[in-house]
Amino acid sequence: MVRRVAVIGAGVGGLASIKCCLDEGLEPTCFERSEDIGGLWRYTDSMDGGRVSVYRSVITNTSKEMSCFSDFPCPEDFPSFLPHGLLLEYFRMYAQHFDLLRHIRFKMTAVSVRRRPDFATSGQWEVVTETNGIQESHVFDAVMVCTGHYQEPYLPLASFPGISTCFKGQYLHSQEYKDVEAFRGKRVLVVGIGNTGGDLSVELSRVAAKVFLSARRSTWVFSRVSDHGFPFDMVSTTRFNHFLDWLLPSALTRRIRFRKFNSWFNHANYGLASTKSSNFKVIINEELPFCLLSGTVVLKTNVKEFTESSAIFEDGTTEENIDVVLFATGYIFSFPFLEESVRSLFDDNRSLYKCIFPPQLEKPTLAIIGLVQLTGSVMVGTEMQARWVTGIFAGRNKLPPIRRMIADVLKKKPPIKRNPSERENLKMSFISYTDEIALCAGVKPNVLRLLLTDPRLALAIFFGPCTPYQYRLVGRGKWRGARNAILTQWQRTLKPLRTRVVDDSSSDFSSWCWMCLLALPVVLTAGFLLSKKTHPGWSLQVGLQL
C-alpha cells in the first residue's frame, strides 16, 4: 500500500504531483535543491549549481488557456502569452491556493534514489538527500521524479572541427545566455534553429554587429498570433482538427499544413524550408522573418569547420571575424541520483510505459513525470501524468502485466536512435497523448454523451480549443467550475486586450454558435467513424470517446 511519496523537484511537474498526491490522500514530500519553486521558469542572473533557467526576455510559446492547471485558470487580466515573471507568479498562486508549500523541503538535493532490499515485495525506495553538506536517509513507498528534460546542456563540439582547438573567439551554450549586453557590437554565430536559436538570434540582432544563424535542416516558422488575432494554439489545437488529421491521408494534411505556413511568407524564398522537405522542424517566432528580410540576421547552412576567427559552412561559404559562437543545441536528460541498475532500464522516454513507468520494475512505484515533449503545452500533459500516476499509487488505477507493458513499449519505440538534442524523439501529439493518459485515468471527456445532455458544451469541446478544463468534467477530480471555464475561455483570452474598447457589432459571438450547430453532422459522423475503427462491426456506443 503506497502512502508516503517522494517528489523530486518543485517545478511545474513537482507542484502538480504534490497536489495530485493530496487529492488521492497520499503523503507527499517534495525535495527541491534551490530555495524556491518554479524550476526552469524561475529566472536567475547566476547559474547556481549548474541550474537551468530561462533567459531574461523569454515569453511562453503556448497561451495561458492552453497551459494552465486544469482546475485553476490563469487570472483573466493576465495576457495570453506570459513573460516568465507572470508565469512564476501564477505558480505561486497555485501553490498558495492548494497549500502546497508546506510539503516542500527547499535547499535539499536528492543525491541517491535506490531500491530497498525488499523492493520486490514492498516496492519501497531509499532516498538520500543532502543539505549544507549533511546527508539524511528516508524511506518512501513511491517516488515521482519531476526534473523534466532540460537538465544537461548538449554541446556537440566533436561535430564542429576546430571549435575547441583553432577558434580564438568565445563559444558557449545557450544555457549560459541571460541577456544581450555581453554581445553588444560583436559578430555572433548562433548554431541551431530551434525555438531558442530563433529567439536568441532575433534578440541579439538588436545589439550585435551581425548575427548569423546556422540551420542543419528545413524549418517552418509560424506566429503565436493566428487568424483574426487569436492565439495560434487556441485556433489550431481542437478536436475537430485532430479528427481531420486522423481522417485525411497524411500526405494531404502535410500539404495543407505547408500551404498554411507559406500563406504568411514563402519559406523557400527565405532559405528556410521547401514543400518537398521530408526532414523538418517547426518553430514559433514572429520576428525572425523580418530580421531575415532586413538583413540583421543572415541564415546559413550547417557549419563544416572553424578556423581561428571564421566559420566555414557546408555550402562552401565563409564568414570571417566571428567573435562569439552560441550553441542553441538543446539538452539531454539524465538522472544521476537514480541507481545505475534502474537508470539503465530506459535510454529515452520511449523506453518508458506511456513515457512514465520503467516497465521492468517488479513494483510500479517509480514514475518519471514530465519527460515528454508535446505539440501543445507540456504543463497540461505533465499534470495529466501526475493524476494518473497518483491514482495508481492509491490503488484506484491499475497497470497491465509487465509483459504487456514491455510489448507496448517495443511497439511504439522509434527504430532509429536520433541525435540527443533532437526533440522529435520526445515530441508527441498533444491531444493524442493527453487523451490516452486521460482514458487510463478515467477522466477523458465523452463528446457524444455530452451532445445528448449538454449540446452547447459538446460543440465547444469539439470545435473549440482543447483546453485542460475538458479533463475535469468527469471522473476522479471532477471540478464543478470546468463547464463554466470552457464556455468563458474566449472571454478570458480577450479580457486583457480590452484596455481600449471600440464598437464592432460585426464580431457577434452568436455567429460562432450558429457555425457549430451547422457543423453538428460532422460530430456525429466523427463519432460513427471512430466507433467503427475502434470496434469492428457495429458499435455506436453512448460511451464512445472522442
Kindly give the confidence (pLDDT) of every residue in the chain, 546 residues in length, as a single tens digit, with 9 standing for 90 and above.
789 999 999 999 999 999 999 999 999 999 999 999 999 999 988 776 668 889 999 999 999 999 999 999 999 999 999 999 999 999 999 999 999 999 999 999 999 999 999 999 999 999 999 999 999 999 999 999 999 888 889 999 999 999 999 999 999 999 999 999 999 999 999 999 999 999 999 999 999 999 999 999 999 999 999 988 999 999 999 999 999 999 999 999 999 999 999 999 999 999 999 998 878 899 999 999 999 999 999 999 999 999 999 999 999 999 999 999 999 999 988 899 999 999 988 876 678 999 999 999 999 999 999 999 899 999 999 999 999 999 999 999 999 999 999 999 998 877 655 555 444 445 799 999 999 999 999 999 999 999 999 999 999 999 999 999 999 999 999 999 999 999 999 999 999 999 998 887 655 455 555 556 566 666 566 665 655 554 444 333 333 344
**3-class secondary-structure state, position 413:** coil
Q: Grid coordinates in use for 92?
A: 505561486
Q: How far is CA 355 from CA 25, 107, 422, in A?
A: 25, 28, 17
Query: In the Cβ-directed half-sphere of 198, how many Cα atoms lie within 13 Å?
Result: 21
Of 64, 77, 72, the closest CA to residue 94 belongs to 72
Distances in whole angstroms, Cα of residue 301 to Cα of each of 100, 157, 270, 280, 293:
48, 17, 12, 14, 17
d(CA 183, CA 352): 41
Longest dimension (CA), the chain: 71
Q: How far apart are CA 381 and CA 417, in angstroms?
A: 24
Specify whether the CB–CB gap between 172 and 194 falls below 8 A: no
C-alpha cell at 458: 459538446
Round to the nearest angstrom and report the end-to-end CA distance of the chain.
34
Neighbours of 80 (CB within 10 A): 24
Close Cβ partners of 53 (under 8 Å, ≥ 6 residues apart): 40, 41, 42, 43, 44
CB burial readout 11-24, b (16+ within 10 A) else e? bbbbbbbbbbbbbb
Q: Do residues 342 and 202 make contact, with C-beta atoms less than 8 angstroms apart?
A: no
Q: Are 176 and 319 in contact (CB under 8 A)?
A: no
Nearest to 141 by CA among 273, 238, 28, 255: 28
Cα–Cα distance for residue pair 268/379, rounded to 1 Å: 33
3-state SS assignment for residue 412 = helix
Q: What is the DSSP letter of 210?
A: E
CB of 148 closer than 8 Å to CB of 370: yes
By residue count, the chain amounts to 546
In whole angstroms, what separates CA 283 from the centre of its chain? Answer: 13
C-alpha cell at 425: 524523439
Cell of 322: 566571428
Residues in Cβ contact with 408 at an 8 Å cutoff, skipping those fewer than 6 apart: 353, 359, 400
Q: What is the pLDDT of residue 524?
A: 61
Cell numbers that stand for 489 in this block: 475561455
Domains of the chain: 4-151+333-412 (3.50.50.60), 156-329 (3.50.50.60)
Predicted local confidence at residue 536, as pLDDT: 41
Q: Are 470 and 486 in contact (CB under 8 A)?
A: yes
Contact 479, 253 (CB under 8 A): no
Residue 278 pLDDT: 78
Q: Within 13 A of 234's CA, how many CA atoms are on the CB side? A: 24
Q: What pTM does this model have?
A: 0.91
Helical spans, DSSP H, in 3-67: 12-23, 64-67
Give residue 505's pLDDT: 62
Neighbours of 485 (CB within 10 A): 22
- Supply the DSSP string of 312-371, one letter for each residue: EETTS-EE----EEEE---EE---TTB-HHHHTT-SSGGGSBTTTB-TTSSS--EEE-S-
Q: Are 191 and 326 in contact (CB under 8 A)?
A: yes
Phi and psi (nearest 5°) for 401?
-60, 155
* Nearest partner of 432 among 395, 366, 384, judged by Cα: 384
C-alpha–C-alpha distance, residues 472 and 20, integer Å = 13
CA 289 from centre of chain: 24
Q: Is 271 left (phi over 0), alpha (psi -120 to 50) or beta?
A: left
Closest CA to 485 of 445, 432, 514, 518: 445
28 within 8 A of 99, measured Cβ to Cβ = no
